[in-house]
């Protein structure tokens, strides 16, 4: 079996495994549903997720340790993940085949030639990682001003070394070092002058372009809901995701680019590939020529997936280990070996110093820039309701990789990819929408936090979520508070009984309670003509037959207090029959009120957990008459309501 066949088997296996994980991310007890399948495994294997969260939080969360396996294997084998494992890479590979079918040999070879812009992916990598490095920088600033100069120098020096290693620019180090130290110094000064950490922040944005979160997001939020819309195997009814069209369009566009240039995304965009490219310079094994007896036939580049030019000086950072050159070489000159290629190799990414520095500086600067809107401060968006267990917003943004696992698993389909509700940096992070979906956030569900690969949503226990047992002192997890809109609520605004919200409130005692109120209906002040055994003839004829006989209407004598109302059992246009109530029988000629008994909903903010079931069920179906906003959410004190 040729090595290419083995690679294809591996690709098909991992793609199938990935798709299987997407399928089984359905809540349920069947064998093909979520019952211990490691559905986030590819995200955990992804070292960009691990590195990103290490930069932003200084910790490596639980199963992200899997990334170490990938890193070690990459250091030994090279970019094997791209060519052998990555499900998105396999998709590109397959679509690329379709694009090649009508091309001639020379066109194919031309299409696989290295393009200088393949370095864009390294810029993207540096940009995205430095966007996450803000708080590390802030730490440096703090240390710089509070600790000894020596510590500051060590810290600054290590940043420089890291940056140089990353860029592979060991040469001319003085100039680079000067610029970098200048840059860091500038931010240090900014921090000193403006109070540092308030503006300099870290935000994990790698998930925007990291292929693993991207492919999870695209398949789970766009592809599966479309595919399942007619079969209804994965969900009982249609799943909806707000703004999923954009996720789908970007996914399809990325795939279609392969028709023009094979593995377009991998060669030009992929920051994970770039990270592997940086690591691959140390790899023990690599592609290369065994001797220089090559006749330069070019067949090795006919199917070269990485565009890494094995014919000449092979570019190790771009080689995805597709092994097609091994098959293509009719003279067995190219091999996968430990010795460098006989025709030379390029181990550093093709990244200019200026490019790297620009990406670094703009990455560090972009987060303070997008936060100029103040959405993390006084201008926080009350419409941004995060899933239960979500960390405080700033910490949340340091961890969320926008993979959409929480949205996929949510049984009620209320977790959605955000648009700009959480600011530019919060695009595609989870936001609750109580209008879409089958209910609110269910009291007995903690699925989202248990699928979250980075603990941006903490995995809760049911006891913690509901505030039971040891969690009783802290109370249940609140994601917001419901507010009654008195201008839209039927009993408040329109004299109509309702209280659907109260009935559906799932906590005990209910967070929504009612106040009884008797309201005289329109044209409800009427005069009594005659009274005979519970049947009262009226002077006016304002009512339709049966209109006030629903069990909610009462006849009340003017000026008299409670207990002097009697329930209306029947009515015609000008007469009502009331239930016997000795005190309430009016005299002929007396003015009486026809009143409707209303139960007006009130929210007790100390009980409300913001689950949104009331909002979901409210019969005012457009803009709901009871709506949840993020005030009083457990995760943050900025919106607390209560003393």
Partner 1 sequence: MTSSSGEKDFSRREFLVRSAKAGAAVALAGGVSAWLFDPEGPRAPSASESDLVTLPDFSVSGLDRKLSIIQGADRVKSLDVALKALGGIEAFVKRGDRVLVKVNAAFATPAILSATTNPDLLAEVCRRCLKAGAASVVVTDNPINDPESCFSLTGLREAAHSAGARVILPRAGFFRPTTVAGGSLIKDWPLLHTPFQGVTRLISIAPVKDHNRSGASMIMKNWYGLLGGRRNIFHQDIHNTIKELAMMVKPTLVILDGTTTMMTNGPTGGSLSDLKATNTLIVSADQVAADAVGATLLGKTVSDLPFILKAVEAGVGTADVESLRPVRASAV
What does the binding site for partner 1 look like in residue numbers (CB under 8 A)? 27-29, 232, 235-238, 411-413, 437-439, 442-445, 490, 496-500, 502-510, 514, 546, 550-552, 567, 569, 579, 599, 613, 617-619, 621
User: Nearer Cβ to partner 1, position 300 or 409?
Assistant: 409
Q: Is the dihedral of CA 228, 254, 218, 381 positive or negative?
A: negative
* Cis-peptide, bond into residue 509, ω within 30° of zero: yes
Q: Please report how close the Cβ of residue 493 comes to partner 1 at its closest, in angstroms.
A: 13
Q: Which of 452, 409, 412 is nearest to 435 (CA)?
A: 412
CB 64 within 8 A of CB 453: yes
Distance, in Å, from the CA atom of 128 to the CA atom of 133, rounded to the nearest integer, reads 9
Nearer to partner 1 among residue 361 and residue 445 (C-beta): 445
- Beta-ladder partners of 34: 27
Measured from the CB of residue 35, what is the shortest distance to partner 1 in angstroms?
12
> Which CB sits closer to partner 1, 200 or 548?
548
**Shortest distance (Å) from residue 237 CB to partner 1:** 5
The residue among 455, 505, 492 whose CA lies nearest residue 612 is 505
Beta-carbon count within 10 A of 384 CB: 22
The token duo for 507 is 């906590």
444 SS3 class: coil
Task: Specify the DSSP element, H or E, that contains 565.
Answer: strand 565-571
CB atoms under 10 Å from CB of 519, counted, come to 15
Q: Identify which of residues 337 and 435 has a Cβ nearer to partner 1 in the complex.
A: 435
Phi and psi at 566, nearest 5°, equal -130, 140
Smaller CB separation from partner 1, 29 or 372: 29
Closest contact distance (angstroms) between CB of 466 and partner 1 is: 9
Q: How far is the CB of 618 from partner 1 (least distance, A)?
A: 7
If the CB atoms of residues 552 and 590 are measured against partner 1, the closer one turns out to be 552
Q: How far is the CB of 617 from partner 1 (least distance, A)?
A: 6
* Integer angstrom CA distances of residue 377 from 77, 162, 388, 432, 637: 47, 33, 21, 21, 11
Least separation in angstroms between CB 27 and partner 1: 7
Question: Whole-number minimum distance, CB 442 to partner 1, in Å?
Answer: 5
Nearest-angstrom CA–CA distance, 460 and 437: 22
Determine contact, residues 75/282, Cβ cutoff 8 Å.
Answer: yes
Q: How far is the CB of 483 from partner 1 (least distance, A)?
A: 19
Least separation, in Å, of the C-beta of 496 and partner 1? 5
CB-nearer residue toward partner 1: 74 or 504: 504
Are the C-beta atoms of residues 54 and 78 closer than 8 Å to each other? no
Token pair, residue 453, equals 């690969």
Helix (H) or strand (E) holding 591: strand 591-603
Q: Which is nearer to partner 1, 331 or 496 (CB)?
A: 496
Q: What angle do CA 139, 143, 146 make, to 5 degrees?
A: 140
Exposed e or buried b per residue across 31-67, where buried means at least 16 C-beta atoms within 10 angstroms of its C-beta: eeebeeeebbebbbbbbbbbbbbbbbbeeebebbebb
Of 29 and 295, CB closest to partner 1: 29
CA distances from 412 to 169, 195, 445 (A): 51, 43, 10
Closest CB 26 distance from partner 1, rounded Å? 9
Task: Report the residue number, 120 or 578, with the smaller CB distance to partner 1.
Answer: 578
Instruction: Specify the residue, 412 or 433, whose C-beta has the smaller distance to partner 1.
Output: 412
């Amino acid at each position: 079996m040729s090595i290419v066949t083995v690679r294809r088997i591996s690709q098909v296996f991992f793609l199938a495994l990935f798709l299987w994980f997407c399928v089984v991310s359905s809540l349920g007890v069947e064998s093909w549903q979520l019952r211990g399948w490691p559905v986030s495994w590819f995200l955990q294997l992804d070292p960009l997720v691990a590195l990103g969260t290490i930069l932003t939080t200084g910790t490596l969360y639980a199963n992200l340790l899997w990334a170490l396996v990938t890193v070690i294997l990459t250091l030994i084998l090279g970019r094997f993940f791209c060519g052998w494992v990555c499900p998105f890479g396999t998709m590109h590979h397959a679509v690329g085949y379709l694009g090649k079918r009508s091309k001639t040999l020379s066109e194919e070879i031309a299409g696989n030639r290295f393009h200088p812009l393949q370095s864009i992916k390294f810029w993207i990598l540096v940009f995205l990682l430095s966007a996450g490095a803000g708080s590390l920088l802030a730490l440096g600033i703090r240390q710089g001003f509070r600790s000894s100069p020596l510590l500051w120098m060590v810290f600054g020096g290590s940043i420089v070394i890291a940056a140089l290693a990353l860029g592979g620019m060991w040469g001319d180090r003085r100039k680079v070092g000067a610029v970098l130290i200048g840059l860091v110094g500038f931010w240090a000064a900014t921090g000193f002058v403006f109070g540092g950490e308030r503006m300099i922040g870290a935000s994990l944005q790698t998930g925007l372009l990291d292929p693993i979160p991207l492919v999870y997001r695209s398949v789970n939020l766009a592809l599966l809901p479309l595919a399942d819309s007619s079969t209804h195997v994965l969900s009982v009814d249609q799943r909806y995701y707000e703004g999923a069209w954009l996720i789908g369009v970007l996914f399809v566009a990325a795939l279609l680019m392969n028709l023009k240039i094979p593995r377009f995304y991998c060669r030009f965009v992929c920051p994970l590939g770039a990270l592997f490219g940086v690591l691959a310079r140390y790899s023990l094994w690599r592609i290369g020529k065994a001797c220089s007896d090559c006749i330069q036939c070019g067949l090795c580049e006919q199917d070269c997936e990485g565009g890494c030019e094995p014919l000449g000086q092979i570019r190790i950072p771009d080689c995805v280990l597709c092994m097609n050159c091994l098959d293509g070489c009719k003279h067995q000159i190219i091999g996968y070996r430990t010795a460098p290629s006989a025709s030379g190799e390029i181990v550093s990414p093709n990244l200019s110093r200026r490019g790297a520095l620009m990406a670094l500086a703009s990455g560090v600067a972009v987060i303070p820039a997008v936060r100029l809107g103040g959405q993390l401060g006084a201008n926080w968006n009350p419409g941004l309701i995060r899933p239960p267990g979500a960390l405080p917003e700033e910490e949340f943004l340091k961890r969320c990789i926008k993979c959409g696992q929480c949205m996929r698993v949510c049984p009620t389909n209320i977790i959605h990819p955000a648009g700009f509700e959480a600011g530019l940096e919060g695009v595609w992070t989870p936001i609750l929408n109580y209008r879409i979906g089958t209910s609110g956030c269910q009291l007995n569900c903690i699925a989202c936090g248990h699928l979250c690969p980075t603990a941006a949503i903490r995995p809760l226990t049911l006891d913690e979520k509901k505030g039971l047992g040891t969690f009783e002192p802290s109370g249940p997890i609140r994601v917001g508070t419901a507010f009654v809109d008195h201008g839209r609520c039927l009993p408040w605004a329109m004299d109509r009984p309702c209280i659907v919200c109260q009935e559906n409130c799932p906590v005990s005692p209910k967070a929504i309670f009612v106040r009884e109120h008797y309201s005289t209906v329109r044209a409800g002040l009427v005069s009594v003509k005659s009274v005979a055994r519970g049947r009262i003839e009226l002077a006016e004829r304002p009512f339709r037959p049966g209109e006030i006989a629903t069990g909610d209407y009462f006849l009340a004598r003017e000026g008299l207090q409670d207990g002097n109302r009697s329930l209306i059992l029947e009515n015609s246009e000008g007469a009502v029959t009331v239930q016997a109530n000795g005190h309430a029988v009016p005299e002929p000629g007396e003015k009486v009120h026809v009143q409707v008994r209303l139960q007006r909903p009130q929210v007790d903010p100390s009980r409300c957990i913001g689950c949104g079931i009331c909002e979901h069920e409210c019969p005012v179906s457009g803009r709901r008459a009871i709506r949840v906003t993020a005030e009083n959410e457990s995760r943050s004190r900025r919106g607390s309501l209560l003393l």
